[in-house]
Amino acid sequence: MLLSISWRNIWRNKVRSMVIILSVAMGIFAGVLATAFFKGMADQRIQKVINTEISYIQIHKAGFEETNDITDYIPNAAELLKSINNIDGVAGVSKRIVIQSMAASAETASGVLISGINPEQEKSVTSISNKIVDGAYFKGIKRNPAVIGKKLAEKLNLRIRSKFVITVQDLQNNITSGAFRVAGIYSTDNNMFDEANVFVRYSDLQKLTNFPVGGAHEIAINISNKEELPAITQAVKKVAGDKMSVKIWKELRPEMNYLTEAMDLYMYIFIVIILLALLFGIINTMLMVVMERTKEIGMLMAIGMNKAKIFSMIVLESVMLSLTGGIVGIVIGAITSKYGETHPIDLSAWAQGYQQLGYDAFVYTQLDPSMLVDITLLVILTGVIAAIYPAYKALRNDPADALRIE
């Protein structure tokens, strides 16, 4: 009954209540949409980094990541690769020889990370093969073909079929060089990646460095459903044994995870700021409500409503007022964000700077249902906080004074 009294009380002053409801709705709508937008942007960025740069899981020999020592390799990489391929949910596995090296053209040189890959295996793990902007993915060149990033091609002034020299240390610590020819030029959205990564065939790099056949520094694993990542990681760890370090993308590139966490934090701050601004409007309305109803509240106290009930009545009214606006805002915001999951927002007019950083020009919003729950709770909390002072004022009413007719 208290609930229905509070609800009906909201509609006693329709205009005033609608103003509050609409402003809460608009604030929450903005909050939900902004959240979905930035979450979409971050997720897209992360997904892209996973797809083009790191893949979901990588295996290294323990210690390799710190030292990058060429001798810290996985000796049985070829067998390991086969067993991992048999794990349910694994979409692709690729083994790589990864060596810090120098790439030199006729004009200049640049430090690069050279990856010796099996082109077909690599296709099932990362999407470099889809990012070719010139030439072809390991086609058209017979001896020592290489696929390099656009940025590096510009820096070294290399074109398709251009020759360049890779200088590395082999397993015996001898400096050795090999001539490679550009078969394809790729371009991801990450210029830094494009400048630093050169892909050559596993067999070519293996010969150049006298690398043991079947060994590799890195095994990269792609999976078909990211929900299964924890389970698959467990399975991979089992197969790899405890001499190997098995890491998922979050561990490989912690800054990617910080990105999501920072984004979440910013969004909460943003929503709290919106709610803080709305809070004062609600407090003001509830104060007016309490002033207008002095006599009525006095009467309610006289006939037997205790302080707890009066307090709840005011708090309920405030909560329902804010929650009504909140729900309207959440629903409209959720519908808009859902629409944005299939209809991207085009940022191309402003996106140049973003692209340098690896973000897309088209942002698909990403609705996070758990965020909606949190926003709902925050709106309820706002309603409660807004009611405290007005409700306290209402309790200060003395029924005898309130009822005295002047």
Partner 1 sequence: MNVIEIKGLTKIYKTSEVIVKAVNGIDINFEEGEFTAIVGPSGSGKTTFLNMLGGLDKPTSGKVIISGIDVWKLSSRQLIDFRMNNIGFVFQSYNLIPVLTAGENVEFIMHLQGKPKKEREKRTKDLLEAVGIGNRINARPSKLSGGQQQRVAVARALASKPEFILADEPTANLDSKATNSLLELMSQMNKKYNTTFIFATHDQRVMDKAHRIVTIEDGKILSDEYFERD
Query: Which residues are near partner 1 by CB under 8 A?
Result: 1, 5, 8-9, 12, 295-296, 298-307, 309, 399-400, 403-405
If one counts every other C-beta atom within 10 angstroms of the C-beta of residue 169, the result is 15
Is the CB of 158 or the CB of 301 nearer to partner 1?
301
Contact assessment for residue 168 and residue 114, using Cβ atoms and an 8 Å cutoff: yes
Burial class (CB in 10 A: 0-12, 13-18, 19+), 253: middle
Q: CA 120 to CA 140: how far, in whole Å?
A: 16
Is the CB of 2 or the CB of 262 nearer to partner 1?
2
In the complex, the smallest distance separating the C-beta of residue 284 from partner 1, rounded to whole angstroms, is: 21
User: What is the token pair recorded at 194?
Assistant: 């494009």
In the complex, the smallest distance separating the C-beta of residue 271 from partner 1, rounded to whole angstroms, is: 32
In the complex, the smallest distance separating the C-beta of residue 402 from partner 1, rounded to whole angstroms, is: 8
In the complex, the smallest distance separating the C-beta of residue 343 from partner 1, rounded to whole angstroms, is: 44
Is the CB of 8 or the CB of 238 nearer to partner 1?
8
In the complex, the smallest distance separating the C-beta of residue 14 from partner 1, rounded to whole angstroms, is: 13
The residues pairing with 265 across neighbouring beta strands, listed in sequence order, are none
User: What is the token pair recorded at 81?
Assistant: 């690769």
CA distances from residue 27 to 18, 37, 280, 316, 322 in whole angstroms, order as listed: 14, 15, 13, 21, 11
User: What is the token pair recorded at 281?
Assistant: 């409007």
In the complex, the smallest distance separating the C-beta of residue 309 from partner 1, rounded to whole angstroms, is: 7
Output the CA torsion 164→195→122→214 (10° steps). Answer: 60
In the complex, the smallest distance separating the C-beta of residue 393 from partner 1, rounded to whole angstroms, is: 18
Is the CB of 200 or the CB of 301 nearer to partner 1?
301
Please tell me the chain's helix, strand, coil percentages from 3-state DSSP, rounded to the nearest 5. Answer: 60, 20, 20
Is the CB of 299 or the CB of 351 nearer to partner 1?
299
Q: Which of 393, 386, 384, 382 is nearest to 290 (CA)?
A: 393
H-helix segments, 293-306: 294-303
If one counts every other C-beta atom within 10 angstroms of the C-beta of residue 142, the result is 7
Looking up tokens 């959205």 gives 189
In the complex, the smallest distance separating the C-beta of residue 406 from partner 1, rounded to whole angstroms, is: 11
Is the CB of 13 or the CB of 376 nearer to partner 1?
13
Is the CB of 159 or the CB of 307 nearer to partner 1?
307
Chain centre to alpha carbon of residue 101: 32
H-helix segments, 73-219: 77-85, 119-123, 150-156, 191-196, 202-209
Is the CB of 3 or the CB of 106 nearer to partner 1?
3
Q: CA 222 to CA 11: how far, in whole Å?
A: 57
In the DSSP assignment, the letter for residue 396 is T
Is the CB of 4 or the CB of 173 nearer to partner 1?
4
Contact assessment for residue 177 and residue 133, using Cβ atoms and an 8 Å cutoff: no
Is the CB of 1 or the CB of 349 nearer to partner 1?
1
The residues pairing with 184 across neighbouring beta strands, listed in sequence order, are 135, 147
In the complex, the smallest distance separating the C-beta of residue 391 from partner 1, rounded to whole angstroms, is: 17
In the complex, the smallest distance separating the C-beta of residue 300 from partner 1, rounded to whole angstroms, is: 7
In the complex, the smallest distance separating the C-beta of residue 16 from partner 1, rounded to whole angstroms, is: 15
Q: CA 222 to CA 91: how far, in whole Å?
A: 5
Is the CB of 252 or the CB of 391 nearer to partner 1?
391
User: Beta 57-61 vs 163-169: how paired, if at all?
Assistant: unpaired
